[in-house]
Amino acid sequence: MTRMENSTAPMFSNVQVGREGFAESGADYRQVDFEPVAATFRRYAWLSTLLYWLPVLCTASAINLLPKVTLLPGMLTPIAVAVLVLLIGAFRWIDAGKRGWALREHDLIARHGILWQSTTTLPFARIQHVETTSGPLERAFKLARLKLFTAGGMTADLVLIGLDGGTADSLREHLAEQIRRRDAVDEAEPAAVDDA
């Protein structure tokens, strides 16, 4: 008897799993309550933007001080770069507030974007392995990234940034357990077919 013929097989469901492990109803990703990223992520995004653009601002200021080399008259070049840095920092601050993620029974959903919002759903069945990473500045803010890889990819197919370190570790362990369960079922199915 195949799986399709088994009338006692459970119906497929995909309800949201809350942070504490309880299930909520609703399979439509548009009705999911997204978990926000860590509260410290906004400050991290702002500071990392400033640190990234600081050499550009210093270079623009230094070039403007050289004789016979003026990009714009007076201090307009450093001021223009400073305004650009502030605008990019404000953009990243707002973006950090729009990011979110949701864990459901069978998949993980990530959302980001301000003007163009992107929502990515990655089923557990496609995930091959997961890892957490964090740079020095992220560790200073107790943040981590969760990277999810699918078959055949050298780079992560989904990266959740701005997660609290503990949350990232818990998610990694939960997803690793889902992968182990899936693999155990996949290994057991050929044996069941052979016995039939």
Note whether residue 173 is domain-resident.
yes
**CB-based contact 104:21 (threshold 8 Å):** no
Q: What stretch of H or E contains 142? A: none
Range of the domain at 63: 43-94
CATH of the domain at 180: 2.30.29
With 90 as the cut, is the pLDDT of residue 171 above it? yes
Q: What is the pLDDT of residue 25?
A: 43
Note whether residue 20 is domain-resident.
no
Confidence of residue 32 (pLDDT cuts 50, 70, 90): confident
**115-132, pLDDT tens digit by residue?**
999 999 999 889 999 999
> Which stretch of 31-35, 46-50, 127-131, 183-187 has the lowest confidence by average pLDDT?
183-187
Note whether residue 140 is domain-resident.
yes
Q: What is the pLDDT of residue 8?
A: 57
Confidence of residue 185 (pLDDT cuts 50, 70, 90): confident
Q: What is the pLDDT of residue 62?
A: 78
Place of tokens 């008259």: 73
Q: What is the pLDDT of residue 74?
A: 66
With 90 as the cut, is the pLDDT of residue 48 above it? yes
Q: Are residues 184 and 106 in the same domain?
A: yes
Q: Are residues 116 and 190 in the same domain?
A: yes
**Number of structural domains in the chain:** 2
Q: Across residues 77-99, what is the average pLDDT?
A: 89
Q: Are residues 179 and 152 in the same domain?
A: yes
Question: Which of 54, 74, 94 is the last residue before a domain boundary?
Answer: 94
Our CA dihedral for 41, 43, 46, 51, rounded to 10 degrees, sits at -100
Q: Across residues 34-39, what is the average pLDDT?
A: 93
Q: Are residues 81 and 108 in the same domain?
A: no
Q: What is the pLDDT of residue 144?
A: 97
With 80 as the cut, is the pLDDT of residue 18 above it? no
**132-158, pLDDT tens digit by residue?**
999 999 999 999 999 999 887 778 889
Distances from the Cα of 10 to the Cαs of 3, 31, 53, 180, in angstroms?
A: 10, 23, 55, 21
Q: Across residues 24-34, what is the average pLDDT?
A: 66
Q: Are residues 120 and 171 in the same domain?
A: yes
Q: Are residues 106 and 179 in the same domain?
A: yes
Q: Are residues 110 and 172 in the same domain?
A: yes
Note whether residue 11 is domain-resident.
no
